[in-house]
Amino acid sequence: MLDYLPKELKPQVASVMRAALRLGAEEGIAKLKQQAQWLEREYPDAAASLREGLEELFTINRLGLSPALRRALGSTNIIENPNSAARRRTGRVTRWRDGAMVKRWAAAAFLDAEKSFRRILGYRDLWMLEAVLLNDDQVAIAERAA
């Protein structure tokens, strides 16, 4: 979304977005809708981009997790770090014999990458995420049974 804005406006809009993401879901969505409305006059593409994923931006906020865990799960670093580590370990392989070889190398690369992992922010609060997810699963099972 920021790519649609001029350089001098990017820090201001990014600051508003960061502040809105710290709010509750409804309040944050309202704040960003207001921001999109403000952008609409001069930068309609940026406003459309902001509105496009607005509801999904607050998925983690709706779970009721701790701020540290929300911060960790709100980033793609948890996914990108192991993937880049595996890429570094398999990057020089130029000839893959078959799918089984690819799986073996991928498994070995991820197991090797695991040695350098650190705990995620808010790891002590992972029980909260587990409780929310288990509750959602039970609700979904009950709805299917009904």
Tokens of 99: 């799918």
pLDDT score, position 107: 93
pLDDT score, position 76: 82
- For 13-70, the pLDDT digits (tens) are 999 998 998 888 889 999 999 999 999 989 999 999 999 888 888 888 888 888 888 8
Cα angle 14, 80, 18; round to 5 = 15
Sign, CA torsion 117/120/124/127? negative
CA distances from 80 to 61, 88, 130, 133 (A): 22, 12, 22, 23
The full set of domain ranges for the chain reads: 2-62, 67-145
